[in-house]
Amino acid sequence: MNNKIRQEMDKIEIPSELNNRVILGMENAKKDYEKPNQHKPESKNDRKRWSLRKKVILFSSVAVLLLGLLISSAFVSPAMANVISHIPYLGSIFQSESISSLIIDELEEKGYKISGTGISYKPKKELEVRVEGSDDYFNDVKDEIEKTVKGILKSKGYDAYSVKVSKELALNAYVLNEEEIKLGREITNKLKQLDYKFYPILIFPRAKVISINIDGSRKYYDAVKDDVEKAAIEVTELNNYKDYSIDVNRSTVKIAKADTGALITPAIAEGLMSKKDFKVTGVGYKEKPLSFIISTSIPSSDPEAKALGSEIESMIVEFLKSEEISSILGEESYEIKVKSKDKKKINK
């Protein structure tokens, strides 16, 4: 955050009823800032910390918190209005959670059984919420969930989506019984005693297969594969699972470092595609050279096409030049292409 915004923040008097929430936001932001190398957690609060859009300094986090509190308020002080005017629209999205995460968190806090959300853009822009539970439960909460989601979208100014609430279809997944769980635990303990490096063991009772995924180089895998299989077979025989086959394999999945475009594009996509006025139907990017491609539904022959293209480009440029994003881009150059419905460039 630049000095001008920080100075304006210092002038703002926080109402007493909001003070605790601001302090909580500062404490959470401090925790995020002090633990940059922790492994990705699974809980809801930890998931919030690990959103790429939450990697901001302490004061930025508080600014976002205050902005969130003001969304539902009809009164904004002149000092706060001045601060808000310095936060680019796309920048505010980058610093906050995605709309899907906000919806899930809100619905879970209200006690609804949600399995997930999804956004589709064709044939129309639709946000879907999937609900777990019985038919009776689904029918009881469907309208309430839809109302809540529409309220969240309205608070964000996202008027491009329709809302669909659907029931999660039950999956006939096999649940391991106690003996199978015990078998997996004993194989795990045996391999740990022998000091092998491996990922969590998978048991597939229907196929009668036990999968052991070795963690390490090809050379290490070749050296231990037969011994790992032999150790696992010994455990299965002791537990009367002689008819199970042992599949020892090696993970070849590599986690690639997110490129610049992958870090930046989600905020651009959410910000532009969520509002009807921008007429944006698609957002993508190419890594080398870095290019942002924005597709719209406006024909190039429309008198307003050029103005819309320039407006969209200006918003993206403002976002990319912001302090936080420029630190990610560094010296990397970029190009912005805003295209009409008939695939013609409508920005400069």
Q: Are residues 246 and 264 in the same domain?
A: no
Residue-wise pLDDT for 147-171, tens only, equals 999 999 999 999 999 999 999 876 5
CB–CB of 131/167 below 8 Å? yes
Domain that holds residue 300: 260-339
Residue-wise pLDDT for 28-80, tens only, equals 433 443 444 444 444 454 544 434 333 333 333 333 333 333 333 333 444 44
List all residues 6 or more positions away from 50 whose beta carbon is below 8 Å from its beta carbon: 40, 41
Q: Which residue would you say has higher pLDDT here, 137 or 331? A: 137
Q: Which of 25-39, 127-141, 312-326 has the lowest mean pLDDT?
A: 25-39
Residue-wise pLDDT for 165-188, tens only, equals 999 876 555 678 888 999 999 999
Which of helix, strand or coil describes residue 242?
A: coil
Q: Are residues 158 and 184 in the same domain?
A: no
Please report which confidence band the pLDDT of residue 288 belongs to, taking 50, 70 and 90 as the band edges.
confident
Residue located via tokens 């019984």? 177
**Is residue 288 one of the residues assigned to a domain?**
yes
How many CB atoms neighbour CB 188 within 10 A? Answer: 16
Please report which confidence band the pLDDT of residue 206 belongs to, taking 50, 70 and 90 as the band edges.
confident
Q: Are residues 79 and 126 in the same domain?
A: no
**Is residue 348 one of the residues assigned to a domain?**
no
What total number of domains does the chain contain?
4
**Is residue 345 one of the residues assigned to a domain?**
no
Q: Are residues 291 and 332 in the same domain?
A: yes
Q: Which residue would you say has higher pLDDT here, 95 or 49? A: 95
Q: Which residue would you say has higher pLDDT here, 52 or 314? A: 314
- DSSP character at residue 345: B
Mean pLDDT of the chain: 77
Using a pLDDT cut of 70, give the percent of the chain over it: 71
Q: Are residues 285 and 266 in the same domain?
A: yes
**Is residue 346 one of the residues assigned to a domain?**
no
CB–CB of 212/198 below 8 Å? yes
Q: Are residues 287 and 321 in the same domain?
A: yes
Q: What is the pLDDT of residue 93?
A: 87
**Is residue 201 one of the residues assigned to a domain?**
yes
Residue located via tokens 């009668």? 208
Q: How far apart are CA 12 and CA 33, in angstroms?
A: 24
Q: What is the pLDDT of residue 258?
A: 63
Q: Are residues 49 and 69 in the same domain?
A: yes
Q: Are residues 264 and 331 in the same domain?
A: yes
Return phi, psi of residue 114, to 5°: -110, 130
Asked which of 87, 110, 132 is the last residue of a domain, the reply is 87
Domain holding 226: CATH number? 3.30.300
**Is residue 72 one of the residues assigned to a domain?**
yes
**Is residue 95 one of the residues assigned to a domain?**
no
Q: What is the pLDDT of residue 88?
A: 72
Task: Classify each residue of 136-165 as buried b or exposed e, where b means 16 or more C-beta atoms within 10 Å of its C-beta.
Answer: eebeebeeebeebbeebbeebebebbebeb
Q: What is this structure's pTM?
A: 0.54
Using a pLDDT cut of 90, give the percent of the chain over it: 47
- Work out the average pLDDT over 15-34: 39
- Work out the average pLDDT over 301-323: 94
Q: What is the pLDDT of residue 313?
A: 96
CB–CB of 9/25 below 8 Å? no
Return phi, psi of residue 99, to 5°: -60, -35
Which of helix, strand or coil describes residue 347?
A: coil
Q: What is the pLDDT of residue 16?
A: 43
Instruction: Answer yes or no: is pLDDT of 1 > 70.
Output: no
Concatenated DSSP letters for 158-169? Answer: --S-EEEEEEPP
Q: Are residues 9 and 73 in the same domain?
A: yes
Which of helix, strand or coil describes residue 263?
A: helix
Q: What is the pLDDT of residue 234?
A: 94
Q: What is the pLDDT of residue 32?
A: 41
Asked which of 87, 115, 135 is the last residue of a domain, the reply is 87
Residue located via tokens 């899930």? 104
Q: Which of 140-144, 176-180, 310-314 has the lowest mean pLDDT?
A: 176-180
Q: What's the half-sphere exposure (Cβ side, CA atoms, 13 Å) at 334?
A: 26
- DSSP character at residue 168: P
List all residues 6 or more positions away from 240 whose beta carbon is below 8 Å from its beta carbon: none
Q: What is the pLDDT of residue 254?
A: 55
Instruction: Answer yes or no: is pLDDT of 338 > 60.
Output: yes
Q: Is 240 left (phi over 0), alpha (psi -120 to 50) or beta?
A: left
Query: Kind of pairing, strands 126-131 and 114-120?
Result: antiparallel
Asked which of 126, 141, 167 is the last residue of a domain, the reply is 167
**Is residue 255 one of the residues assigned to a domain?**
no
Question: Alpha helix (H) ranges present in 50-200?
Answer: 58-71, 78-84, 89-94, 99-109, 135-156, 178-193
Q: Can you state the percent helix, strand and coil of the chain, rounding each to 5?
A: 50, 15, 35
Instruction: Answer yes or no: is pLDDT of 14 > 90.
Output: no
- Work out the average pLDDT over 186-191: 95
